[in-house]
A and B are shown apart, each in its own frame.
Chain A
Amino acid sequence: MWVYEKRLQCPVNIKETNAKLAQAIISQYGGPDGEMGASMRYLSQRYSMPYKECMATLNDIGTEELGHLEIVGTIIYQLTKNLSMEEIKASGFDKYYIDHTTGIWPQAAGGVPFNACEFQSKGDPLTDLYEDLAAEQKARSTYDNILRLCKDYPDVYEPIKFLRAREIVHFQRFGESIRLILDKLDSKNFYAFNPAFDKAAPCLDKNCKMN
């Protein structure tokens, strides 16, 4: 269950529209390394995660990513609010406008729609967490690319800088999650079994009679 709070994790107040910038930033809404994929990845992976610290990490980072999706959606909404037909034509926003007017729809900067194939939920804790590390770095690179485009727009630059910093914190937490898992596995062969699936995996409850 989620409880909505009428506030953004990081405030967004954009005073000038810029449809060209919006078309680039929309990739972090529904693109290959965007916030929709991030939230769906972690919130999907959490079910099969057998370690309690890592389950909490996936749940809570996945929840924060929903908040980031909202921040990116807000940036795009405010950048495209009250556009004139002249601005729509001159900025190249006309292709998006034909299908969505100025509604917010998850797509990549190049127009490719959001697709669940942009993330995995493998049902193997180490596999999933290594994907999560890569995902945070890919999102960080995308935010770096966006920052180079919006240097002269502080209203956009500041929330993007915030989102980029969060990728680095999440990367750190997923790294710690992997370390916690490795400590519980056989150091001679970390891949001897899949702790989320194989019966050979010891129960994590210290008092469990099955061990």
Chain B
Amino acid sequence: MNKMNKNELFDYLNEVSFMLDDITLYLNTHPDCPDGIDAYNHYKKLREKALNDYTCNYGPISRYDVDVNNYWDWVNKPWPWEGECGC
């Protein structure tokens, strides 16, 4: 996979997360479906990697993953309703 920039990685994280949102609803009513289980395991790995890459490079998505030294950076990172420019 080519190196993604910040926006591309964020979009990719949203896409693989959405795949899990959809697959998990399907699995709730088809808990023994082998194709559903394979798809879940596949996208779970992709999301874990994307979430980890994004957090390490651009900051936390979750407040359980804040890398805190001398300032609580969670308050600085933009909120999703602020839109692209974050201003």
> What's the least CB distance linking A67 to chain B, in Å?
8
Whether B79 and A6, one on each chain, are in contact in the complex, defined by CB atoms closer than 8 angstroms, is: yes
Chain A interface category by residue count: 20 to 34
In the complex, A3 Cα to B63 Cα: how many Å? 8
Majority secondary structure of chain A interface residues (helix, strand, loop or mixed): helix
Number of interface residues of B (CB under 8 A): 27
> What's the least CB distance linking A18 to chain B, in Å?
14
Q: Which residues of B contact A4 (CB under 8 A)?
A: 62-63
Q: Which residues of A contact B80 (CB under 8 A)?
A: 6-8, 12, 70, 74
Q: When the two chains form the complex, which single residue of A7, A56, A78 contacts B14, counting CB atoms closer than 8 Å?
A: A7
Beyond A10-B18, A12-B80, A53-B29, 14 additional contacts (C-beta under 8 Å) are: A3-B62, A3-B64, A4-B63, A6-B60, A6-B77, A6-B79, A8-B14, A9-B21, A10-B14, A61-B25, A64-B25, A70-B80, A169-B25, A173-B28
> What's the least CB distance linking B52 to chain A, in Å?
14
> What's the least CB distance linking A90 to chain B, in Å?
23
**How does the 8 Å CB contact mask read for A42-86 relative to B, with 1 for contact and 0 for none?**
000000000001001100110010000010011001100000000
Which residues of chain B from 10 to 44 have a CB within 8 Å of any chain A CB?
Answer: 10-11, 13-14, 17-18, 21-22, 24-26, 28-31
In the complex, A176 Cα to B29 Cα: how many Å? 6
In the complex, A195 Cα to B39 Cα: how many Å? 33
Whether B62 and A6, one on each chain, are in contact in the complex, defined by CB atoms closer than 8 angstroms, is: yes
